[in-house]
Structure 1
Amino acid sequence: MKTILKSYSSIILLLIGIIIGSLIGLFLPDLVAYIKPIGDIFLNLLFVAVIPLLFFAISSAIANIESNGKLGRILGIMTTVFIVTIAIAAILTILGLWAFPVTAIKDTSTFTEAINSNPEDTWGDKIVRFVSVGEFVNLLSRQNILAFVIFSFLIGVSVRKSGDLGKPFLNFLLAGNEVMKNLLALVMYLGPIGLGAYFAYQVQSLGPELFGFYAKPLAFYYIFGIIFFLIVFSFYAFIADGNGGVKKYWKHNITPSLTALSTCSSLATLPANLLAAKKIGIPDSIANVVIPLGNTLYKNGSAISSILKIYVAFAILDWNFFEPTTMVTAVGITLLVSMVAGGIPNGGFIGEMLMISIYGIPNEAVPAIMIIGVLVDPLATVLNATGDTVAAMLVTKFSGEKFQVTSTKDVDTIEL
């Protein structure tokens, strides 16, 4: 019993905090305004710490890979895993909607929210802003997370090319990576309180909307998403490392899942994912590349919600979603959406709406789709964030690397 309590103490404390927060959100909603700042402080600490973590994790991992061939192989396998599994998520969602049609919203007149986008921007302008910034200081904003990831990747490559002269800088990167991991472990000690406060806010703010016009689309997303989460991710973990992989994935995936569910932020879940990867035994050379890149570029939850949004928009407009060309285009859009959605709370809907505009969907259908995007965000973030870890497991398998056996000392060091 003591061993179980020691192994799962952090998870038990998180669950207690989340349960208390949920009860406050349900029965004492007036208190939410007072405790939400606690959750905001916790989330801000994660966001502040995660930027240097990304830099040190990516740069040190790239710089420390033994050969250029190994780096290229990891990136090639990672790209293939991302594309194939996102396509699988999109196709399964289409099949689910075909088997269980959803009655969409017919009246969107009460919603007036608009897309916050500059109509004068060309697609070229959007791509430039997405992958680069004009000033170094702008790299440090989480709004430009992909540009920052690319910069960190290039720093790692540059260190590799510097040879012996670059070794002092490599040692700095390795030391910085270790320091940031320990800092994030300290921050996560606040998890039960911070996540509990955020759960109170989520339950209090989103609860009333779940039973209105959006009941059927949301019921489909949450039922399908939970099934996808449990079965498809288990299947991927089995492919990666057999029955042992499934057990390790679910044993160490609880904390990342709860973090994602309460914060609605893939970026805030990144530290917990990296710690889980360490416990699962994913080599650092893979975890520190695949998980940070996947945080921005790999989103199963966004893929499923993208298909659902397109389907709902077509239903509102009485268009036929199940035409072959429409479905193939939807899968293509979904692949793009999974790369556009950022790692910030509720940040994916703008990119998804830009992609859906390919169909020429009129303005009256847009508000309803955006509301759906907000309401599915908790589960979407769980799928987005925790999918990074199982993707890293698949990359480990297909790259020929071995899962590492984590010692008791290592586990105690990184245990939250």
Structure 2
Amino acid sequence: MEKTYSKNGLWESYRFSIILIGAIIIGSLIGIKFGEKAQILKPLGDLFINGMFTLVVPLVLVTISSSIAGMSDMKRLGNVLKSLFLVFVSTGLVAGVIILVVVNIFPPAQGVNLHLTTTEALKPFQTGDQIVKALTVSDFPELISRKNMLPLIIFSIFFGISVNLVGEKGKVVVTGLNALAEVFLKMIGILMYYAPIGLGAYFAALVGEYGGQLLGSYTRAMLIYYPLCILYFFLIFPVYGYIAGGQKGVKSLKYLVSPALTSLATQSSIATLPVNLEAAEFIGVPKDIREIVLPIGATAHMDGTVFSSILKISFLFGVFNIPFTGVETYISALLLSVAGGVVMSGVPGGGLIGEMLIVTMYGFPPEAFPIIATIGYLVDPPATMINATGDTVAAMLVTRLVEGKKWIENKISQ
């Protein structure tokens, strides 16, 4: 199915990103022009950052809880669900290892040193005590804090499962959680109207103080990320296609063109779902598998997000002049990126939650959040393409695990 897009359609799809990037560019130019005098605009940026910090905790609690509490009829997934989880995590780890190698060869923030204040603890999961503190808190009030994002997420998942297990009596709670989730998402949406002003002012102050070196590092990060996504699409996906169905599996990847174009135009894996379902049908993925894997994949299979997460982590390490080296650092980056790609992206506002998790888990100061949030907006189009088209590839791999290596030949012969 061929998709065409008018200029107005493209503008509607990219309007906010264009406006936001334009505001950041204008703010940066103001910073370059007026230097440290641009610091007068910093309070306008702080208003936006504080607003996001205030909303992120209740947003995490209600969106994750409502998503899990509303699930139903999961038992029938059986072997498909197990295979799905294996494929999602495996491809996420492959993507994570690839981007780790790339950012070590081409550090995205090389030569940048902003001398911003940060904490000493930058190695999560290093000791047993750190693991306990990373996963839990000792008192409920401590849970309601952006400083304890991972315990909050774990609590939200546990709460959502418990509501689900209550059954009929829990439906009233599900209804309330869904309503609250919509309310907080609406609040985020309203706050985002202020984002161009807030981030524009923030970058005017940041660039005014530290000059244009930060802007140059963003350009370097994009020059790393965009070619990587293109190479992943044309080199790694064929490998997965071959694993799934041999030469016929590789040839079937021609059906990814339409999902790729749709995802680039809409910047949404959900919006690409109908096109992906059609592509999977053309390839020969059985109906029950594609109707399970693709909807879940649209919210929980995010290799592009894994790429961007590690890019953001290594970028912050470079910005704060901290060596991005060591087994502990690499393992923690992989864990956070896969969690962001497989878990967080299935939640409304998941990108925001993942970025906040990166900042808090590594002990970076609040100023680090808008720095990587901007990267998130810049990498969104190619990241969405990898996420969305990767869902169909994942469905092929799941079919290989469930139905055996001859599945595509049997389907073609029917």
User: TM-score band, normalised by the shorter chain?
Assistant: 0.5 to 0.7
Question: Residue 389 of structure 1: which of 392, 407, 411 is its match?
Answer: 392
Shift of 1:392: 0.8
Map residues 4-403 of structure 1 onto 2, 5 A cutoff.
10-11=1-2, 13-14=3-4, 17=6, 21=10, 71-104=77-110, 106=113, 119=146, 123-129=150-156, 132=160, 135-137=173-175, 213-250=217-254, 252-342=255-345, 347-401=350-404, 402-403=407-408
Q: Deviations over 1:333-372 (max 9, x none)?
A: 1121113333588741322321442111222322211100
Partner of 2:196: none
Displacement after TM superposition at 1:135 (Å): 3.4
**Retained in 1: the 8 A contact 2:96–2:306?**
yes
Following the alignment from structure 1 to structure 2, what is the Cα–Cα distance between the partners of residues 223 and 289?
31
1:320 alignment partner, SS class? coil
CA distance in 1, matches of 2:8, 2:105: 35
Alpha-carbon distance, 1:74 to partner: 1.9
TM-score normalised over the length of structure 2: 0.60
* Residues 260 and 130 (structure 1), Cα distance of their counterparts in 2 relative to 1, 3 Å cut: farther
Distance in 1, matches of 2:227 and 2:369, equals 24
- The 8 Å contact of residues 267 and 344 in structure 1, kept in 2 or not, is answered as no
Alignment deviations for residues 153-178 of structure 1 (CA, whole Å, 9 cap, x no partner): xxxxxxxxxxxxxxxxxxxxxxxxxx
Q: Determine the C-alpha separation between the residues in 1 that align with 2:286 and 2:341.
A: 25
How many corresponding residue pairs? 291
Distance 1:59 1:346, change over 3 A: closer
Find the aligned partners of 1:17 and 1:345 in 2 and give their Cα distance.
28
Name the CA shift for 1:264/1:138 in 2 (closer, same or farther; >3 Å): farther
The CA deviation at 1:232 is: 0.6
- Post-superposition shift, 1:303? 0.3
Structure 1, unmatched stretches of 5+, are: 1-9, 31-53, 66-70, 110-116, 145-209, 409-416
Root-mean-square deviation over aligned CA pairs: 3.9
For 2:280 and 2:179, how far apart are their aligned partners in 1? 25
Cα distance, 1:17–1:280 mapped onto 2, change above 3 Å: farther
Cα distance in structure 1, aligned partners of 2:395 and 2:79: 13
Shift of 1:75: 1.8
Distance 1:139 1:256, change over 3 A: farther
Q: Report the TM-score, using the length of structure 1 for normalisation.
A: 0.60
Once the two structures are TM-superposed, the CA of residue 87 in structure 1 deviates from its matched residue by 0.6
Structure 2: stretches of 5+ with no match in the other structure: 20-66, 117-143, 164-171, 183-213
